[in-house]
Structure 1
């Protein structure tokens, strides 16, 4: 495991310890003692079901791309990807290239092929999230009675999401626009990364081309669209349902719509690439919004912490336990930022 990943694991544990200190370990223990453990068990089963849905969706994408890998072999790769995403800042998205690399390395496919299915899988998760985020932000402005300046920021966020989504779709169907975006990204990144400019431009071109190819595949393949979009919405329903069940276990009554709004907002904050999995910022926001929505302040902290233990730490622990099976060099190779050709060569050499 590379030094950066080890650092973020230690940082995650440190943030958890700080949260326990401020919330109060005694309060958390008392709340868990009073909780219905059977209902908490249901929440854990829902989370495990979410992992299975993630794997099913990726398997569908892989099958359409003629990568016929069984569920049993894909499931541990999915768990490793989730763990890597959790232990790295959200903006890094380290779990996706790790998934692609492991699938290519273990089953003899080209990295470009496996990376395309991972990008497609990621985009399928993004579409319902954008829809839910727009609805949630609008509902939040109406429900939580935020200050005018904050409401303005949320409204602008809705507009920005719509514009970005429109640009992404247009970029996929218009090759010349994609080239313009590619040149713009290169100019921006070149200011901060002057060494190896040719290699940088090649990487950007690979990513943009892969994105365009993947989106074109999504648009042209009705089977993929019909099966996976509903599955993606079902995954988000499972995520929100898990939170609701955790509240039920602690005897807290909170509207499921409010829980969904808070969860989507927290997910938006979790995308800020500052902390691993948004840890700390996400938890603090959830506690504050749940308290504002009517959950007792003394209960909002323990409930949020237990929910994050199920949603964040369970995937992290399972994935990190599985990771050594694929070799300690996986994270090191991905973190170096090699091009697809270099990683393909690395896979061939290891084989």
Structure 2
């Protein structure tokens, strides 16, 4: 199935991407202005390249592990895709997530489209598999954040300035699973709400058929149920989800070592999900905002000064985000041409 690349990346998406990176550049610029670019650059100039390489390898590890999570979930839903074939597809989805504001919402439809084009699966089956894999990846997020919170609570090192972040993590930990459970248990209500929006639109636009939309919603729920009936496969997928999250957090630890700091692993597993909350801002991959949040947390929870904390944060993001973009970018072009 071949489509023009402009179907996947239209002009509006490109404009949003450019604006998002411009906003992110402003974040990074003012971070450097406040902390002091000379101090940050001097610290980065002393970075041990060996630990930087190890951090980049950890980034490759999370990309490969989460690809395996997706493959296991796809297999549970009856979609057979070879691992080697799925790797570039997952990297393309990662590129879509990391380059568009609120990218996670755009990445899932993109990868579902590519999977549907690459396999015999329908779009609804692909989207259900992708959504389930993403939900599995949320469990390590909560687990690692919980471990870090527990460690901070035991040591009594939670500063007042970090309490809003703790509240945000707690709200996500309770709210997202609650919403997912409610959406699953009240399938009829969700369907009625969606059709209440689609119905009036379909009445005015000939290209949208309410019956077809209803069939797609039902197909999505049916495929999620099919995946849920394979608990063994889901358990295997969860193992790779945890492995991926460990690799995702590891570059922060290695960034510290590269600059001469040893950050406690328990603190690392708190800092990564806590700073990820800043990814909700409308910049690609939370660029700029995540670094700023991480600097504030490092200064509050470690003996680091602002300059050292900023250097660690920027090096971490270079290894875990920028390097991932460099790996995934060419692959995204390849996948776009392939489908």
What band does the TM-score fall into relative to the shorter chain? Answer: 0.7 to 0.9
* Partner residue, 1:7: 15
* Partner residue, 1:128: 140
* Partner residue, 1:60: 72
Gaps of 5+ in 1: 331-346
Structure 1 contact 96–118 (Cα < 8 Å) conserved: yes
Post-superposition offset of 1:50:
1.0
**CA pair 93-167 structure 1, distance change in 2 beyond 3 A:** closer
* Partner residue, 2:159: 145
Give the whole-Å Cα distance in 2 for the aligned partners of 1:78 and 1:238. Answer: 16
**CA pair 134-8 structure 1, distance change in 2 beyond 3 A:** farther
User: Does structure 1 residue 115 correspond to structure 2 residue 115?
Assistant: no
Note the alpha carbon deviations across 1:253-280, whole angstroms, 9 max, x for none.
222222221211122231x252221222
**CA pair 211-282 structure 1, distance change in 2 beyond 3 A:** farther
* Partner residue, 2:5: none
Task: Choose between structure 1 and 2 for higher RCO, CA contacts under 8 A separated by at least 6 residues.
Answer: 2
Structure 1 contact 8–276 (Cα < 8 Å) conserved: no
Give the whole-Å Cα distance in 2 for the aligned partners of 1:293 and 1:319. Answer: 33
Structure 1 contact 244–256 (Cα < 8 Å) conserved: yes
* Partner residue of 1:308 out of 296, 312, 317: 317
Structure 2 contact 102–283 (Cα < 8 Å) conserved: yes
Give the whole-Å Cα distance in 2 for the aligned partners of 1:266 and 1:12. Answer: 19
Note the alpha carbon deviations across 1:160-180, whole angstroms, 9 max, x for none.
6425424523543x4xx2111
Note the alpha carbon deviations across 1:167-200, whole angstroms, 9 max, x for none.
523543x4xx21113334666x68xx97447859
Aligned residue pair count: 321
Q: Secondary structure of the residue that 2:285 maps to in structure 1? A: coil
* Partner residue, 2:4: none
* Partner residue, 2:45: 33
* Partner residue, 1:336: none
Gaps of 5+ in 2: 1-8
Structure 2 contact 151–266 (Cα < 8 Å) conserved: no
**CA pair 164-52 structure 1, distance change in 2 beyond 3 A:** closer
Give the whole-Å Cα distance in 2 for the aligned partners of 1:285 and 1:97. Answer: 29
Give the whole-Å Cα distance in 2 for the aligned partners of 1:311 and 1:319. Answer: 12
Structure 2 contact 49–258 (Cα < 8 Å) conserved: yes
Q: TM-score scaled by structure 1? A: 0.78
Q: Secondary structure of the residue that 1:35 maps to in structure 2? A: coil
Give the whole-Å Cα distance in 2 for the aligned partners of 1:30 and 1:152. Answer: 32
* Partner residue of 2:189 out of 180, 185, 191: 180
* Partner residue, 1:85: 97
* Partner residue, 1:227: 236
Structure 1 contact 34–250 (Cα < 8 Å) conserved: yes
Q: Secondary structure of the residue that 1:66 maps to in structure 2? A: coil
* Partner residue of 1:281 out of 273, 286, 289: 289
Give the whole-Å Cα distance in 1 for the aligned partners of 2:319 and 2:115. Answer: 26
Q: How does 1:312-351 map to 2 (within 5 A)?
A: 312-327=321-336
91-100 or 25-34: bigger deviation: 25-34
User: Does structure 1 residue 49 correspond to structure 2 residue 61?
Assistant: yes
Note the alpha carbon deviations across 1:193-214, whole angstroms, 9 max, x for none.
9744785977975675455335
**CA pair 184-144 structure 1, distance change in 2 beyond 3 A:** farther
* Partner residue, 2:261: 252
* Partner residue, 1:238: 247
* Partner residue, 2:6: none
**CA pair 202-323 structure 1, distance change in 2 beyond 3 A:** farther
* Partner residue, 1:158: 170
Give the whole-Å Cα distance in 2 for the aligned partners of 1:206 and 1:124. Answer: 26
